[in-house]
Amino acid sequence: MHSVFHPHVSDAPAQFLIPPHHMNISIIGASGYSGAELMKLLLRHPHAEIENVFAHSAAGKRVDEVYPAFRHRTDLVFQEYALDAVRSSDCIFIALPSGEAMRIVPELIDAGLRVIDLGGDFRLKDSVLYQKYYRHPHTAEHYLPGAVYGLPEWNRDAIAGAQLVANPGCYVTSALLPLLPLVKEGIIDPAGIIISSLSGISGAGRQSSVSYSFTETNESVKAYKAGVHQHTPEIETVLRAFSNTDASVTFVPHLIPITRGIYSSMYGRLAKQTDIAAIRALYDSYYASAPFIRVDEAKYPEIKHVQGTNYCDIGFALHEANNQLMVFSVIDNLLKGAAGQAVQNMNIMFGFAETEGLG
């Protein structure tokens, strides 16, 4: 097992636990969709003050010029990133493409700053695995062991004391939250779990590409990177670490013509006799006090129920003839799958209510 996730150990200095009244926030890579969602959430957050928004391609432009939805809401201007500009920030969010965060994180950590990285650079502990799936070498391996995986429902204590939080992938969040209790408690066979996921096009980021144009994607669906998507090792690594099994998954993402949202349909072979009520009780035992997880065995989840929110809705059904458990989950890929979960992590790191600014 690769993972060294350690929920109970925290090297974080004690002062991390004292929440400043108004926290200064910097966002690096603020002009993409996750960055824009972060700004939207943090502008409303009662304890946050956005100090800097960095975006190389948009440097010098007002935020509301790039995103007119922000008119009347902020006078912030995108800047070029510089270490000196963030030294006064209590919390730094990074929303950069893979490969770019690892060039900046070291100097931030060395400067004693607290960082939440929304990208994939610090989610895997194994740099060989990273290179295999992300197709470039990891250049900040030294910082991997200290990164804390930011799945609050499973790693709350470690997150609270973390200096560097690796915010989970969007597909990964939608898969781990429903699967972890089932795998950990031996309800389903940890081997060969099928994860068939559907994502809205915003998941591809703010790209100029024929492939993501309206005309090419509307009224269509396509699978992509079947079995080779970079979220596969992340799902497996975390599933193994938190369940103490040797879980393996076949993960297939599909693009569907919606803007926001992920629908994951998961299929596992039952490893023991069970029934709907028992599975519901199991979920309750794990998630009854998790504010953003809603389990309902009586209704299939629907993406529209979570759009614009930080919820993960979970449903499930048994196919007894085939001894299969079918599990369904939905999240908003830009919120619980990215910016919302990042703010949830920030709340935990700084001692605020977990739901603060996310209601």
Report in angstroms how near the CB of residue 131 gets to a copy of itself at its nearest: 17
The Cα–Cα gap between 182 and 308 comes to: 27
Nearer to a copy of itself, 24 or 324 (CB): 324
Least distance (Å) between residue 137 CB and a copy of itself: 22
CB of 311 to a copy of itself, least distance (A): 7
Buried-state track 89-126, b at ≥16 Cβ within 10 A, e below 16: bbbbbbbbebbbbbebbeebbeeebbbbbbbbbbbbbb
**316 touches 334 (CB < 8 A):** no
Nearest CB to a copy of itself, comparing residues 139 and 322: 322
Are the C-beta atoms of residues 83 and 54 closer than 8 Å to each other?
A: no
- By C-beta, is 202 or 274 nearer to a copy of itself? 202
Q: Choosing from 55, 160, 165, 170, which is the catalytic residue? A: 170
| Sequential DSSP letters for 118-173 | -SSTTT-S-HHHHHHHHSS--S-GGGTTT-EE--HHHHHHHHHT-SEEEPPPHHHH
In the complex with a copy of itself, the residue whose CB is nearer, 109 or 303, is 303
In angstroms, the CA 30 to CA 51 distance is: 12
Nearer to a copy of itself by Cβ, of 302 and 356: the residue is 302
Residue 245 CA, chain-centre distance (Å), reads 22
Residue nearer to a copy of itself on the CB measure, 143 or 352: 352
We find the least distance from the C-beta atom of residue 148 to a copy of itself, in angstroms, to be 26
Strand partners, 266: 195, 327
Q: Tell me whether strands 115-117 and 91-94 are parallel, antiparallel or unpaired.
A: parallel
Non-local CB neighbours of 289 within 8 Å, separated by 6+ positions: none
- Contact criterion met (CB below 8 Å) for 256 and 198: yes
Query: Smallest Cα–Cα separation from 228: which of 249, 201, 207, 204?
Result: 249
Kindly state the smallest distance separating residue 257's Cβ from a copy of itself, in Å: 6
Give 140: exposed, middle or buried? Use CB within 10 Å, 0-12, 13-18, 19+: middle
Report the nearest approach of a copy of itself to the CB of residue 355 (Å).
Answer: 10
Is 170 annotated as catalytic? yes
Positions marked active-site: 170
